[in-house]
């Protein structure tokens, strides 16, 4: 099913979202990325029907669904923290959305079990949520979202609350579940976004500031704000304005001189924190760096006036 937002607006006090216009084709995967507070969750909740927009419309498969109840939208949602009933077993938790829609017990438990087996949880169906790891709990949440066979899946930072090893455990299941469905995946982490989708929508301060191929956006950010958000963490004055560059965009040379503040060794590489005139600069270095003065060239970067 396709998903389309037309002129969506929503305000909370000082914060205003939109107007957002966005079209996601049936079966397309899109990641929505932006810093904390940029309006990602609000946008997702409007699509899911959990927050009413102040204006604009949500079209699902070409039909205006703006006033449709959440459970009638054919949309599954996975949130940052698992939303499970502590007093129900894993199987009961996953069967619950079916039972509450009047599906018979036999069929509901059968379908719930099938989904849990697909998510590698077949041995845990009789456990309670508190007896599971956080990663397993998040997979049960995914099972709850999938059991109604939604054609549209929404994810709101489903890995953010997990430790890195658990993210690696859950991500493959999210990927498998996404196959063949229309997916909108919200995250504040651009790298995570690129795992999920080639098309990335960057949202800042409630506005869409980039929408396109993730590689293209990463290599050619449209503004200094997007560049900084994408890891162009270094900024130095240049003839063109300010040159923004990433730690790995430098090589040994004589163009710039910096005073070394700290050096550390991380994942097989040297990293340097240096002070170049008024700015702190982070650099990746191919070999053991000097301890006092470091000289480098900027191999590539992006120039912005601000
Ligand atoms: P994100 O998910 O990108 O971090 P949110 O959509 O959660 O951003 O929030 C965007 C802004 O809207 C924030 O300033 C937040 O405080 C505000 N906000 C979100 N939901 C509500 C609400 N229910 N009531 C008041 N303010 C809200
Ligand atoms: Mg959020």
Distance of CA 163 to the CA centre of its chain: 15
CA distance 259 to 293: 5
pTM recorded for the entire structure: 0.89
- Label residue 302 by pLDDT band (50, 70, 90): very high
- 158-195 residue pLDDT tens: 999 888 888 888 888 998 889 889 999 999 998 888 88
Which residues face 16 on adjacent strands? 11
Residue whose pair of structure tokens reads 């590698």 in the numeric block: 120
pLDDT band for position 85 (50/70/90)?
very high
**How far does residue 39's CA lie from ligand 1's centre (Å)?**
6
| Residues β-bridged to residue 293 | 259
CA 185 vs CA 112, 148, 260: distances in Å: 24, 19, 40
Q: Is the pLDDT of residue 18 over 90?
A: no
Mutate to test the pocket of ligand 1, among 10, 36, 42 (most ligand atoms within 8 A of CB): 42
User: Residue 133 and residue 25: Cα distance in Å, rounded?
Assistant: 35
pLDDT at residue 267 in the model: 81
Calculate the CA dihedral of residues 221, 225, 226, 230 and round it to 10 degrees: 100
Q: Which two tokens stand for residue 303?
A: 């120039």
pLDDT of residue 65: 95
H-state helical runs in 16-73: 40-48
Mean pLDDT of 118-125: 94
| Rounded CA separation 152/101 (Å) | 18
Measured CA distances, 271 to 16, 216, 255 (Å): 39, 26, 19
In this predicted structure, which of 29-38, 46-55, 69-78 has the lowest mean pLDDT? 69-78
Contacts of 20 (CB under 8 A, 6+ apart): 5, 7, 8, 9, 43, 56, 208
Q: Which ligand is nearest to the CA of 204?
A: 1
Averaged confidence pLDDT in the chain: 93
CA-to-CA dists, residue 27 to 2, 31, 58, 150, 298, angstroms: 7, 13, 17, 12, 41
pLDDT of residue 238: 87
Residue of 14, 37, 188 best suited for mutating to test ligand 1, as the one with most atoms within 8 Å of CB: 37
pLDDT of residue 165: 83
């Amino acid at each position: 099913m396709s998903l389309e937002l037309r002129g969506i607006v929503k305000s909370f006090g000082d914060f205003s979202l939109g107007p957002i216009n966005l079209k996601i084709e049936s079966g397309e995967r899109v990641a929505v990325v932006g810093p904390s507070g940029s309006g990602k969750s609000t946008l997702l909740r409007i699509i899911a029907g959990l927050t009413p927009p102040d204006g604009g419309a949500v079209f699902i498969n070409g039909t205006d669904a703006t006033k449709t109840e959440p459970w009638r939208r054919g949309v599954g949602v996975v949130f940052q923290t698992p939303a499970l009933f502590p007093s129900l077993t894993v199987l009961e938790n996953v069967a619950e959305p079916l039972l509450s829609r009047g599906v018979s017990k036999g069929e509901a438990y059968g379908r719930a079990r099938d989904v849990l087996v697909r998510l590698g949880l077949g041995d845990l169906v009789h456990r309670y949520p508190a007896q599971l790891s956080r990663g397993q709990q998040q997979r049960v949440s995914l099972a709850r979202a999938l059991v109604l066979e939604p054609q549209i899946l929404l994810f709101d930072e489903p890995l953010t609350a997990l430790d890195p090893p658990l993210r690696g455990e859950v991500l493959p299941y999210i990927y498998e579940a996404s196959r063949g469905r229309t997916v909108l995946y919200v995250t504040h982490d651009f790298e995570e976004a690129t795992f999920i989708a080639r098309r990335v929508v960057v949202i800042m301060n409630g506005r869409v500031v980039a929408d396109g191929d993730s590689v293209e956006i990463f290599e050619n950010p449209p503004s200094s704000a997007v560049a900084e958000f994408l890891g162009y963490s270094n900024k130095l004055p240049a003839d063109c304005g300010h040159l923004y560059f990433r730690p790995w965009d430098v090589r040994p040379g004589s163009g710039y001189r910096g005073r070394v503040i700290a050096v550390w060794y991380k994942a097989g590489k040297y990293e340097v924190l240096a002070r170049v005139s008024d700015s702190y600069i982070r650099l990746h270095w191919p070999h053991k760096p000097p301890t006092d003065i470091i000289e480098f060239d900027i191999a590539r970067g992006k120039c912005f006036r601000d």
